Amino acid sequence: MSQKVIALLNEARSRELTAISQYMVQHYELEDRAFGKLAKKMKEIAIQEMKHAEGLAERILFLKGEPTTKPDAAAQKGQEIPAMLATDIGLENAAIKMYNEASLTCAAEKDQISKELFEKLLAEEEEHFNFFDNTKEHLEKLGAAYLATLAD
């Protein structure tokens, strides 16, 4: 199988590992600050990202590659909610761009299964992006009143 596809799968896995770490840090910090509703959603998204990382690892192993265990960046800590959302939007936007391009590369390499995996992940990353973007817009429009709805 294509080393190019294995490299793309590992790049995606590295991004997913970063997202897992970032969203779990945010989950803990939000929980500690009594933003339980938002903390719970961050944990749910982190778990979805864990499933993405697992699916990528399984595909890499099937292709006789070695799944990376290294995130591509360190998690940001101590951010206020607007900065958290900006970080998250950036992570999801980068993943969306990369997965769109990766699916095209997989098609060119005649690896339909990897292409379909990237397309599945892409759809879920778009959902995450939409959640973060909508939350950011609500926060910008409603301010502290909206933040109050995210508390326990």
What are the pLDDT digits (tens) for 26-65? 999 999 999 999 999 999 999 999 999 999 999 999 999 9
Give the whole-angstrom CA distance, residue 57 versus residue 68: 8
Query: How much is the pTM?
Result: 0.94
Q: Distances from the Cα of 97 to the Cαs of 12, 101, 104, 134, in angstroms? A: 11, 6, 11, 19
Q: CATH number, domain at 19?
A: 1.20.1260.10
How far, in Å, CA of 53 to CA of 133, rounded?
23
Name residue 17's amino acid.
Answer: L
In contact, 88 and 20? CB cutoff 8 Å = no
- Convert the pLDDT of each residue in 129-148 to its tens digit: 999 999 999 999 999 899 89
The parent domain of residue 12 ranges over 3-150
How many independent structural domains does the chain possess? 1
